[in-house]
Amino acid sequence: MTALVVIGASFRTAPVGVRERLALTAERNRCLVAGIVGNGDAAEAVAISTCNRTELYLTGDDAVALARTALAELRAVAGEHDLLPAEVFYDHRGDPAALHLYRVAAGLDSLVPGEAEVLGQVREAIALARAARGAGPVLSRLFDGAIDSARRVRGQTAIGENAASIGSVAAGVAAAAASGLEGAAVLVIGAGQTAELVVTSLAARGAGTIRVTNRTLERAVVLATRFGGEAVPMSRLASEVARADIVVSATHAPHAILTPAEVGDRTARPLLVIDLAVPRDADPALRLVPGVVVHDVDALETTVSRNLALRESEAVAGEAIVAREVEAFRRWLVALDVVPAITGLRALAEAIRRDELDRVAGRFEAMTPRDRELIEQVTRTIVNKLLHEPTVRMKDGPELARTVQRLFDLPVR
């Protein structure tokens, strides 16, 4: 039977420091996959590498050997100077391996349930494997099925609705306040991970102008450049706030950096301040300034928690869709393994039928073509009826197919 194995490490089993060591560039991904298949260590191979997970999917004849190969390859990626313990990795084989991929593609195994980015990463993984000649019929069918299943989950449930990260919620609040972000001038204070999530979400929503300021200007330049924005020095903070319609602040400053004196009266041009910092970047007194509206991290996290609960409830429906799709793949894989036995048994029966007819054909001198046709039909019907039930039973599992191959001395692929 075709064995399917996935060995991997994700945010559930490994800290970010370990996941960084396992990360694969596109070129390294292709080389890894091509090497495994080229060396004969697996019939097929696909590697998924994202910030939250690195996984290696292999197929072949021996699940134990495949798992051993996958673990060794991932440890080699991480570097042999510090051997990663087995506890860092998860090991799924057979149906659980297929279910795992389907759940990953649908966002059901994500840090934020229903996140859409992982589906694109699964598409990229199978594309890289095909380019490296690592994906054959089994893994191509598995990954294509997982991608189709993920589309159904997103189309038939609301798991992808309701922003479920601080960055996306902040961008949503900003968009709602500005009735769209196309013409809004946005100032982002900070250039760390939270600020990056906010800028990503703002850019995805079409923010018109994004300026980034940070205590270290170089980091602001890197972040702003990625999204076509502009980096400005922190020394210009007051003037940049005056130009902004929306200010999103996410620094690690030990004290407030946005005060009423710096902001001034905004009655003529309202200002939305989204404060994601802890401790807060916005002085509490800023709420009293005319024309200024302040949202702090507690208010946004309440929205995130509510939306996560909604997504988790939708995930139940998603799990049901995935379970049905995985069962369809399982039936296909079983059929793939039993086809040689079914084909071999029918070929043997047909050969016997033809030989026997040919052997006795000369004894019936008065046989007409019509008689021969009737005998052909009768004998073919007998063979089909005899083989119908064994054929159906073999589709229940490869064990019966292997038994039939042994009983009738059929060739094993």
CATH code, 194: 3.40.50.720
Q: What is the mean pLDDT of residues 101-105?
A: 96
For the cut 80, the answer to whether the pLDDT of residue 363 exceeds it is no
Residues 143 and 181 in one domain: no
- Domain end, chosen from 128, 156, 184, is at 156
Give the rounded percent of residues in the chain with a pLDDT score beyond 70.
Answer: 97
To 5 degrees, how large is the angle CA 375–CA 378–CA 383?
120
Catalytic residue among 16, 26, 51, 360: 51
Predicted pLDDT of residue 137? 94
- Same structural domain for residues 268 and 234? yes
The whole-number average pLDDT for the span 202-219 is 89
Is residue 413 a part of any domain in this protein? no
Parallel, antiparallel, or unpaired for β 209-214 and 230-233? parallel
pLDDT of residue 164: 61
The answer to whether 162 and 195 have CB atoms below 8 angstroms apart is no
Of 256, 285, 305, which residue sits at a domain end? 305
Q: Is the pLDDT of residue 337 over 80?
A: no
Q: Are residues 64 and 144 in the same domain?
A: yes
**In the chain, how long is the greatest CA-to-CA distance?**
116
pTM, full prediction: 0.65
Q: Are residues 112 and 213 in the same domain?
A: no
Residue 324 in domain: no
Question: Quick one: 134 and 173 in the same domain?
Answer: no
Model pLDDT, residue 177 = 76
Q: Indicate whether 147 belongs to any domain.
A: yes
Domain count, the chain: 3
Residue 20 has pLDDT above 90, yes or no: no
pLDDT given at position 390: 84
| Same domain as 78, residue 30 | yes
The verdict on 281 and 358 lying in the same domain is: no
Average of pLDDT values for 218-222? 94
- Max mean pLDDT range (191-205, 248-262, 361-375): 248-262
Task: Report if residue 378 sits inside a domain.
Answer: yes
State which residues form the domain around 228.
Answer: 166-305
Query: In this structure, what CATH number is given to the domain that contains residue 123?
Result: 3.30.460.30
| Same-domain check for residues 128 and 173 | no
Q: Does the pLDDT of residue 32 top 90, yes or no?
A: yes
Last residue of a domain, which of 156, 182, 208? 156
Residue 312 lies in a domain: no
Half-sphere exposure of 129 toward its Cβ, with a 13 Å CA cutoff? Answer: 31
> 3-state class of 248 per DSSP?
strand
Please tell me the predicted confidence (pLDDT) of residue 143: 97
Residue 329 domain flag: no
Q: Are 32 and 77 in contact (CB under 8 A)?
A: yes
Query: Same structural domain for residues 135 and 172?
Result: no
Q: What is the pLDDT of residue 397?
A: 67
pLDDT of 113 higher than 90? no
Q: Which residues contact 214 (CB under 8 A, 6 or more apart)?
A: 189, 190, 191, 195, 220, 223, 231, 234, 251
Strand blocks (E) in 34-135: 44-49, 53-60, 90-93
Provide the pLDDT for residue 96: 96
Query: Do 197 and 269 lie in a common domain?
Result: yes
Question: Could you tell me if residue 128 is inside a domain?
Answer: yes
Q: Is residue 71 part of a domain?
A: yes
Q: Is 51 a catalytic residue?
A: yes
Tokens of 152: 């159904």
Mean pLDDT of 204-212: 86
- How much of the chain exceeds pLDDT 90, in percent? 49
Residues 212 and 299 in one domain: yes
Bridge partners (DSSP) of residue 91 are 7
Say yes or no: 74 and 10 in one domain: yes
Average pLDDT over every residue of 116-140: 93
pLDDT band at 240 (very low <50, low <70, confident <90, very high): very high
Mean pLDDT computed over every residue of the chain:
88
pLDDT at 159 over 90: no
Q: Is 84 left (phi over 0), alpha (psi -120 to 50) or beta?
A: beta
Residue 150's nearest CA partner among 126, 166, 168 is 126
